[in-house]
């Protein structure tokens, strides 16, 4: 709006100043002036149609901004809640992972023990081992006899 409109319509000057102050307050996050802005949207109250149209446009912008702010606040709240839930789930997963790691370690020890027993069993069941065991028994028996004879 140029200055000619205000100069040609002296009654518009205070209204334009008022609209400017309201818009300035709103632009700085002070929405308490919103009712004053909406009161300027009616051309019936001696407000020129141009001022009423501007006030209505600013009012619509304000409503949209407030709606976005509400939506963003809701989204932030949902994200904050989701973050808390994820942190809880993460702690539980870490706890479960530690427990499972311990179980895996125990199973590794058990598997190693089982494999060792199996390998020992395989060795002791061979003919070669049986022959060695038999010879070892014979040697021990001979040594006992020699020791008993020497006493």
Between 22 and 85, name the one with better pLDDT: 85
pLDDT value at position 69?
Answer: 93
Collect all residues with Cβ–Cβ distance below 8 Å to 97 and sequence separation of at least 6.
Answer: none
38: confidence class by pLDDT, cuts 50, 70, 90: confident
Cα separation, 7 vs 38, whole angstroms: 24
Contact 51, 40 (CB under 8 A): yes
User: What percentage of residues in the chain have a pLDDT greater than 70?
Assistant: 89
pLDDT value at position 150?
Answer: 77
Contact 5, 50 (CB under 8 A): yes
pLDDT, average across residues 9-29: 81
pLDDT value at position 13?
Answer: 72
Between 31 and 92, name the one with better pLDDT: 92
pLDDT value at position 146?
Answer: 85
36: confidence class by pLDDT, cuts 50, 70, 90: confident
pLDDT at 75 exceeding the cut of 90: yes
Structure tokens at 119: 């390998």
pLDDT at 40 exceeding the cut of 60: yes
Between 94 and 9, name the one with better pLDDT: 94
pLDDT digit string, tens, across residues 81-131: 999 999 999 999 999 999 999 999 999 999 999 899 888 888 888 888 889
pLDDT value at position 3?
Answer: 52
């Amino acid at each position: 709006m140029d200055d000619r409109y205000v100069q040609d319509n002296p009654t518009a000057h205070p209204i334009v100043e008022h609209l400017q102050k309201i818009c300035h307050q709103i632009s700085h996050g002070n929405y308490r002036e919103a009712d004053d802005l909406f009161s300027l949207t009616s051309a019936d109250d001696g407000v020129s149609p141009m001022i009423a149209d501007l006030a209505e446009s600013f009012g619509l912008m304000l409503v949209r901004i407030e709606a976005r702010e509400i939506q963003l606040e809701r989204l932030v709240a949902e994200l904050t809640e989701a973050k808390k839930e994820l942190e809880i789930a993460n702690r539980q997963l870490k706890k479960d992972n530690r427990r499972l790691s311990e179980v895996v370690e125990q199973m590794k020890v058990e598997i190693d023990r089982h494999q060792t027993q199996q390998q020992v069993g395989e060795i002791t069941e061979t003919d070669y081992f049986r022959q060695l065991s038999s010879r070892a028994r014979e040697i021990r028996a001979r040594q006992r006899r020699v020791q008993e004879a020497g006493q």
